[in-house]
Structure 1
Amino acid sequence: MSIARLRRPRAVFIDVGGPLYDDDNYLAAAMSAVNGLRAREGRPPAPAAEMRALYDAVRNGEEPSIRTALAREFLGDPARRGELHSATRPLWVHPPGTLAPDALPFLRGIAGSAVVGILANQEAGVVDALRRDGVGDYVSVWGVSALVGHEKPSAELFDWCLAEAGVGAEEAVHIGNRFDNDVRPAHDLGLGTVWVLRGEAPDDPSPSERAVADLVVPDLVGLDRVLFA
């Protein structure tokens, strides 16, 4: 870890699910999609507790992908993950009241100190939700995968956001909650990294995983002061 790498960045990028909105929004959409596909086949709804347990297994590294795991366990074939993804997309929304309570205070705390960007694998409708909830007032770079055409963990989405912000990787910080999609790729590209342990983050990351991030935090409270002390 190197807190010094985080000091006074010129750009701050932030993921949506986890840092800003409850990741249960995605899980609820995926569960509804699973049950919609099962209903078409005349099958009863899948047990919610079992789908939640599978989600937790994915969070904690016991399964590689929530879509693949759900398709395998509840649709009978992991190859149906693409079908499940298509069914989930229109259901994946961020309802009013699901914005994290520390999101706007954090954004107010860094306003004017750096370019702020969204860097997230999300559907295009997330822009409307972020604007509705006041986040859009602070955002200059909209690195939303459905709009840009690239998805994390590929370097292309990070590179696009850096170019839009007009900064180099060493001048930017990325805040995310997934090791594979956020911390590791941002670190490898040279960005400072903040790992927020909520939502899809594991309950207890390994020491080797923690060592990759420059800072590991439970939430966004006080993070503005860490970045711009």
Structure 2
Amino acid sequence: MAYYTCLLLDVDNTLLDFDAAERAAITDTLEHYGLPHDLEAVQTYHRVNRQLWDSLAKGELNRNKLFAIRFSRVMQALGLPDSGNGREMNEYYEKELSNHADLIPGALNALEELGEVATLAIVSNGATMVQQPRIEASGIGRFMDGVYISEKVGAAKPSAKLFDYCLKDLGLSNRSRVLVVGDDLLADIKGGVNAGLDTCWVNFRNEENKTDVHPKFTVQSYEELYRIVMEPEELENVGVRNRRHTNDI
């Protein structure tokens, strides 16, 4: 039996390459509105967007506010006049983003391996209209026993309420066998800690942890995640299909 028999997985930059999707979507959006869409503009958007999502994780603003002010903040950062159609731009951007389901290399194989030994579920803060098409198009959804998007549940990471809802819906009670896996320290990892769950920081870029949030585990590859989740006997059987796992929790 695996050390962890349930994995609660983030989507963006954990399974899907959000950075690639973001670059394509914001470039298309800025070009559509006749705005600069060079590398500097894309990087500016990324910086502003990251700051807003960090503020969301800290409870400093809500999702509606984030979507309402995002492009106004971008225009300000680019030194451009605010045209007053930030909401419209945001909707266009989200539609474009939903069309990009770029997989992180090895993600599907990792889910196939992990799904042999554990229950898998998605826990995402992304917008429903963005995440659902990407989950379906990428093929990751077929490995999941549940897909939980904060907008639908009514609670967002790092709130423990989102994880509590997931575990209740999955019928799981022993939190010691559940592992939260994600790339965002302030949302995924802090959320797992808040819910009393073990956490694994997916740090594919080998970034420095500059926060006061401390994951139980850190991995830089899916193979490292196998060694955290699987017992030695299961590791020896990586690649063997139709193994059966039980949720003895």
TM-score, normalised with respect to structure 2: 0.69
Letter in 1 for 2:155: H
| 1:113-152 deviation digits (Å, cap 9, x = unpaired) | 2221000123345334334433222101111234434332
1:66-105 alignment runs, 5 A limit: 67=70, 69-74=73-78, 76=81, 84-93=89-98, 95=100, 98-105=102-109
Deviation at 1:26, TM superposition (A): 2.7
Deviation at 1:56, TM superposition (A): 5.2
1:199-218 alignment runs, 5 A limit: 203-206=207-210, 208-209=212-213, 212-218=214-220
The alignment status of 1:152 with 2:143, answered yes or no, reads no
Percent identity of the aligned residues? 22
Relative to structure 1, the CA distance from residue 64 to residue 8 in structure 2 (aligned partners, 3 Å threshold; closer, same or farther) is same
Deviation at 1:51, TM superposition (A): 2.8
| 1:48-94 deviation digits (Å, cap 9, x = unpaired) | 32431552587699x858937525314656x9865654332212125
2:18 to 4, 15, 23: 23
4+ residue runs over 4 A deviation: 56-61, 63-66, 79-84
For structure 1, which segment, 119-128 or 12-21, has the greater mean C-alpha deviation from structure 2 after superposition? 119-128
- What's the counterpart of residue 115 of structure 2? 111
Letter in 2 for 1:138: F
The answer (yes or no) to whether the contact 2:203–2:220 under 8 Å persists in 1 is yes
TM-score, normalised with respect to structure 1: 0.74
1:45 to 36, 47, 51: 36
What is the alpha-carbon distance in structure 2 between the residues aligned to residue 94 and residue 157 of structure 1? 26
The answer (yes or no) to whether the contact 1:30–1:84 under 8 Å persists in 2 is no
What is the alpha-carbon distance in structure 1 between the residues aligned to residue 14 and residue 43 of structure 2? 20
The answer (yes or no) to whether the contact 1:20–1:99 under 8 Å persists in 2 is yes
For structure 1, which segment, 184-193 or 165-174, has the greater mean C-alpha deviation from structure 2 after superposition? 165-174
What is the alpha-carbon distance in structure 1 between the residues aligned to residue 158 and residue 28 of structure 2? 26
1:32 to 28, 46, 50: 28
What is the alpha-carbon distance in structure 2 between the residues aligned to residue 152 and residue 82 of structure 1? 23
| 1:14-56 deviation digits (Å, cap 9, x = unpaired) | 11110111112134324433454x53xxxx3243324315525
Relative to structure 1, the CA distance from residue 124 to residue 72 in structure 2 (aligned partners, 3 Å threshold; closer, same or farther) is same
The alignment status of 1:176 with 2:182, answered yes or no, reads yes
- How many residue pairs match? The answer is 211
For structure 1, which segment, 151-160 or 109-118, has the greater mean C-alpha deviation from structure 2 after superposition? 151-160
The answer (yes or no) to whether the contact 1:26–1:93 under 8 Å persists in 2 is no
Relative to structure 1, the CA distance from residue 56 to residue 128 in structure 2 (aligned partners, 3 Å threshold; closer, same or farther) is closer
For the aligned residue pairs, the C-alpha RMSD in angstroms reads: 3.3
- What's the counterpart of residue 10 of structure 1? 5
What is the alpha-carbon distance in structure 2 between the residues aligned to residue 125 and residue 158 of structure 1? 21
What is the alpha-carbon distance in structure 2 between the residues aligned to residue 19 and residue 33 of structure 1? 24
1:227 to 226, 229, 234: 229
